[in-house]
Amino acid sequence: MKDSGVDLATIPTKEIEAGDVIKSYKFWIMHLENQKKRGKHEWVEKLQDLYSLIDRWRLSAANKFKMAQADVMPEPPIAKVAYTSATSQVPMTEEILGAVGVRSGVIVELAMVIQEWAHVNASAANASDKQVGQVQNMIICKGQIFSPSQPWPLARIPMMKKNGKLSPWESSYTRFMNGEQPQSIAVTAIGGKPIQVRTVVGHILDALTFGKPVALDRLAAATLLPTYEAWTTLQQIESSGGPEMDVEKNGVKMSDMLAP
C-alpha cells in the first residue's frame, strides 16, 4: 500500500485493523496493475482520477458537516464504487450510493461527481455508437415482469454449492428480484470483491435462460438493451450459425423464447 502511494496516516487505525481496508486497497491496486499490464496506462490514470474525486468529495463532506471521513463514507467502498462506476453502462444514483454505505446530506453531489466523470470517461460512454440516435429501441412497459415460455433447451443450470450457499448467478438474481439495483449488487457482491455491473446483468440473463421471470423495466435501467435492428441481426446469426447456434431441432430457439 505504501509503495502505491497510500498515506496510511489518513486511514483510521480501527479500519486498518478490521482488515477491510487492506482487502479493498489490495483489490484496487491489483486491478490497476492488471490494466497496466494490458497497456491501458491512460485508462489507469482515469481510474485514479475517479478515485481521487470520490476521496476529495468525502473530505469536503466531512469538513462541511464536521464529521469524520469514515462516518461520511468508509474507506473500503471508495475503491468498490470507483471500480463499479467505471465498468457500468449507466451512472451511479443516490439510491445506489446510499445502499453501499454512503451517509451524507450531500450524497447528491457525489452522484453528480461520478456522473460527470462517467460522461467523459467511463464505459458508459463506450457503448456502441450505433445505438445512439436509433429510434427503433426495445420498448419495455413499466412494471413488466417477463416470464419465458420455457427454459432454453441448451441452458445448463450450475449445481448448488455443497455448502448450501447460493451460486453467484442465484445471488445476483435473487437480490435483483427482491428490489436491489444491479449497481449496488455489483459493489456488494458475495465474496467481498466488487464485480462489474455487466457481470450482474449476465447473471440475471442467465436466470432468464433458465426460465426464471425477470423485471425487464428495472433491468433496462441498468444496461443497454438491444435495438430491434440488433435483435434482428442476432436472429439471423442464430439461424445460420450451425449446430452451436441453431437449436430449433432441440425444441425452441433462444430468440423465439425471448421474442420482443
- What is the pLDDT at residue 161? 60
Whole-angstrom distance, CA of residue 52 vs CA of residue 57? 8
- What is the pLDDT at residue 101? 75
Average pLDDT for 193-217: 89
Whole-angstrom distance, CA of residue 208 vs CA of residue 150? 9
Q: What is the mean pLDDT of the chain?
A: 77
- Highest average pLDDT, of 9-18, 123-132, 173-182, comes from 173-182
- What is the pLDDT at residue 176? 94
pLDDT digit string, tens, across residues 98-118: 877 787 677 888 989 998 898
pTM of the model: 0.65
DSSP character at residue 138 = P
Q: Which residues contact 17 (CB under 8 A, 6 or more apart)?
A: none
Average pLDDT for 153-182: 81
pLDDT digit string, tens, across residues 58-90: 999 989 888 888 888 887 788 888 888 887 777
Going by C-alpha positions, the residue among 121, 86, 90, 84 that lies closest to residue 225 is: 90
CB 28 within 8 A of CB 51: yes
CB 123 within 8 A of CB 87: yes
14 class by beta-carbon count within 10 Å (0-12 exposed, 13-18 middle, 19+ buried): exposed
Going by C-alpha positions, the residue among 100, 78, 93 that lies closest to residue 124 is: 93
- pLDDT score of 175 more than 90: yes
